[in-house]
Amino acid sequence: MSTIDYSEKIPNNVNLSEDRRLQRALEKWQPAFLGWWDQMGPESSSNHEVFLRTAIDVSAKGWAHFDMVKMPDYRWGIFLADKEKDRKIGFGNHMGQDVWQEVPGEYRSELRRLIVTQGDTEPASVEQQRYLGLSCPSNYDLRSLFQVNVEEGRHLWAMVYLLHAYFGRDGREEAEEMLLRHSGDVDKPRILEAFNVPTEDWLSFFMFTFFQDRDGKFQLTSLAESGFDPLSRSCRFMLTEEAHHMFVGESGVGRVVERSAQLSAEHDTLEVGRHGGIPLAMIQKWINFHFSICLDLFGQEKSTNAANFYSMGLKGRYNENKIEDDHLLNNDGFLVPDLQNGKVIMSEISALTAINERLRNDYRDDCQKGVDRWNRIIEKANVDFKLTLPHIAFNRNIGTFQDNDFDLEGNLISAEEFAANKDTWMPNSKDREFVKSLMQRVVEPGKMAGWIAPPSRGIQGKDIEYEYVILQ
Ligand code: BYC
Ligand code: FE
Ligand code: FE
């Protein structure tokens, strides 16, 4: 089951050839996808040879094969993690029952909505990153970008397969819509707001893969708990790909921090801009922005949608099976932040309606660990500066805090005060211009732009100097 059939037009491990109708429908969607890739995917990249990994086996060991590939020839396909024998639903009203191999009729629209929302983010990210190849800091980094892009394209395939295979005609319509909405399009934007924000420089790209792909990690892990087995298996395999995206983000920001700290120490100043680095204080502004827009991706603190998804057995909590409680949550409480008398306080609500907030907490803890590791890089360089995550109330557009303004520490402030400080807390147009001015394309193998430290090693045992992308 786990070997992938590459003789097919659409590589897959779901026996696609045994379902002619489904195969034909997906083969019809395939050229639309390729057309979308050509128009909305990485700019001027179609002739580059790229050292890419392709899935060949879904088992934990050795699933990938590396080779020089032109991106339009990448073998996007449908890969599900192996079926777990006798898998049972692990939470909610159907706990203990066999997982579903077909869509439970009464939950059809909720399930479809989750799959559509998940699927929509994948092509969105490719659209957001489409011009970055023109300003990459190194040949190595250019490969990372393209690797992430093709895999996000494959994640779209993963969700489109589920829509086609299990949702009939409206599933096919949703699959078409995936290619018609576009990031930032005023008429047909992507569903979640953070996926409509352009990613115009490489500091933003690394922040994106750290903060935004990390939302992907947490959402996919929760969906991997799903009682709908095909969704669970899809997400489990996507998570193996996602691990690399996390690496690109954390190591990418880490290398920028390393270079900035190094320049700060060398010149005995934090103002390293005129030495070709990105000041640590400016990196902090990027963190403030990206972290706050990504917190919105978890939805409202108190959500009946989330409670329903959970009780229905469609979407669990992060690492549901490692949590020791009744997995029903009918009688449990959970503390969520609330605004009372002008102060952010914690108040208890039902654990069921607090599912989104719980996941956001897990996410925040994971982000903090990454920030701690960046701070160790700064310490090692003997520079006196500390990066932090802003308070959860800062710059929020979804949930409890959306109608008020807060400073970085979570103090309620007036709209005027926020407007007056916004440009010191988050990237302003001058900051963005400055960072963009540093983004001069470097593609010669082994060379690095001056604002970023080299990676500690190359990819798949190759040297850092290896020509990962042959441009043409
Ligand atoms: N923007 O009850 P609530 C990834 C809406 S990233 C706009 O809290 P719910 C990736 C909401 O729709 C992972 N609208 O909502 C990363 C609802 O609307 P209605 C993506 C928003 O449903 C990088 C209303 O507000 N996957 O894979 O519990 C690169 C009430 O809110 C937003 C998923 O998200 C928002 N941010 O929670 C590539 C998993 N938030 O009902 C890829 C699937 C809320 O009033 N999605 N609203 O019309 C979900 O699980 C849930 O839909 C959400 C929202 C957690 C997103
Ligand atoms: Fe993805
Ligand atoms: Fe990702």
Range 22-35 average pLDDT? 97
Which is higher by pLDDT, 286 or 2? 286
| H or E element, residue 256 | helix 229-267
Rounded to the nearest angstrom, the distance between the alpha carbon of 54 and the centre of ligand 2 is 15
In one letter, which amino acid is 409?
E
Residue in 128, 302, 305, 397 to alter for ligand 1 test, most ligand atoms within 8 A of Cβ = 305
Per-residue model confidence as pLDDT tens digits over 155-209: 999 999 999 999 999 999 999 999 999 999 999 999 999 999 999 999 999 999 9
Q: Is 294 in the pocket of ligand 1 (CB under 6 A)?
A: no
Residues with CB under 5 A from ligand 2 (ion): 122, 152, 155, 216
Tokens representing 410 are 């979570």
Q: What is the pLDDT of residue 23?
A: 96
Q: Counting atoms of ligand 1 from 1, which one is nearest the CA of 306?
A: 28
φ and ψ of 11, to 5 deg = -55, 140
Q: What is the pLDDT of residue 63?
A: 75
Percent pLDDT > 70 in the chain is 99
Range 247-251 average pLDDT? 98
| H or E element, residue 294 | helix 280-295
Residue 6 pLDDT > 90: no
Residue 59 pLDDT > 90: no
Q: Is 125 in the pocket of ligand 1 (CB under 6 A)?
A: yes
Nearest CA to ligand 1 atom 26: 118
Q: Counting atoms of ligand 1 from 1, which one is nearest the CA of 359?
A: 55
Q: How far apart are CA 69 and CA 190, in angstroms?
A: 29
Q: Is 234 in the pocket of ligand 1 (CB under 6 A)?
A: no
Q: How far apart are CA 124 and CA 130, in angstroms?
A: 10
Residues with CB under 5 A from ligand 3 (ion): 213, 216, 242, 245
Per-residue model confidence as pLDDT tens digits over 324-364: 999 999 999 999 999 999 999 999 999 999 999 999 999 99
| H or E element, residue 33 | helix 20-40
Per-residue model confidence as pLDDT tens digits over 309-333: 999 999 999 999 999 999 999 999 9
Q: Is 239 in the pocket of ligand 1 (CB under 6 A)?
A: no
Tokens representing 126 are 């490719």
Closest CA to 295 of 218, 240, 224, 371: 218
Q: What is the pLDDT of residue 24?
A: 96
Rounded to the nearest angstrom, the distance between the alpha carbon of 285 and the centre of ligand 2 is 25
Q: Is 192 in the pocket of ligand 1 (CB under 6 A)?
A: yes
Nearest CA to ligand 1 atom 37: 299
Range 71-99 average pLDDT? 97
| H or E element, residue 54 | strand 49-55
Domains of the chain: residue spans and CATH: 16-470 (1.10.620.20)
Residue 235 pLDDT > 90: yes
Residue 1 pLDDT > 80: no
Q: What is the pLDDT of residue 64?
A: 83
Q: What is the pLDDT of residue 61?
A: 66
DSSP string, 410-458: --EE-HHHHHHHHHHHS--HHHHHHHHHH-----STT---TTSPPPSS-
Rounded to the nearest angstrom, the distance between the alpha carbon of 152 and the centre of ligand 2 is 5
Nearest CA to ligand 1 atom 45: 305
Q: Is 308 in the pocket of ligand 1 (CB under 6 A)?
A: no
Q: What is the pLDDT of residue 56?
A: 79
Residue 60 pLDDT > 90: no
Tokens representing 70 are 């032109």
Nearest CA to ligand 1 atom 14: 192
CA dihedral sign, ordered 125, 131, 134, 137: negative
From residue 278, alpha-carbon distances to 211, 215, 432, 449 in Å are: 19, 26, 11, 12
Q: Mean of the per-residue pLDDT values for the chain?
A: 97
Q: Is 174 in the pocket of ligand 1 (CB under 6 A)?
A: no
Q: Is 222 in the pocket of ligand 1 (CB under 6 A)?
A: no
Per-residue model confidence as pLDDT tens digits over 210-234: 999 999 999 999 999 999 999 999 9
Closest-lying ligand to the alpha carbon of 248?
3
